[in-house]
Amino acid sequence: MFNPERRAQKPSLLACLGALLAAAAVGLSAYASHGVTDAVAQQHLNMAALYAFAHGAVLAAMGKRAQGLLGHLGLYALLLGTLLFAGSLAGNALWQWPTRLAPAGGTTLMLGWVVLAIAALRR
């Protein structure tokens, strides 16, 4: 019943946000399939959902295990990049926002993955 090891573990904001991002992606994908008739809007929403789900799952899985500054920096870059990229595509499909943040989001995602690769080699 009482587990002192569990109490010693800190909650992970990255893991929590990743799980919420993945949950939102499922809803976004369902909405794209059932609530949108425009083909381009569906494509944008499905692409946003794909990126949000994949990176949300990574954050949920790795968030609690992130080690060191580089590990945390890489995961936060993934979070920011996903929000910019997927958010830009979803905003375009839902509210006709411009997609000008998508390239910055994609670049941030690539940078986050490179930082995580460097962090993995430095362990």
For residue 9, pLDDT beyond 80: no
Query: Is the pTM here over 0.85, yes or no?
Result: yes
Rounded Cα–Cα distance for residues 100 and 113 (Å): 21
Quick one: how far is CA 74 from the chain centroid?
12
Q: What is the pLDDT of residues 54-91, one digit of tens each?
A: 999 999 999 999 989 999 999 999 999 999 999 999 99
Sequence ranges of the domains in the chain: 13-121
**Pure H helices in 35-67:** 39-62
The length of the chain in residues reads 123
Rounded to the nearest 10 degrees, the angle between the axes of helix 39-62 and helix 13-34 is 160
122 by DSSP, 3-state: which?
coil
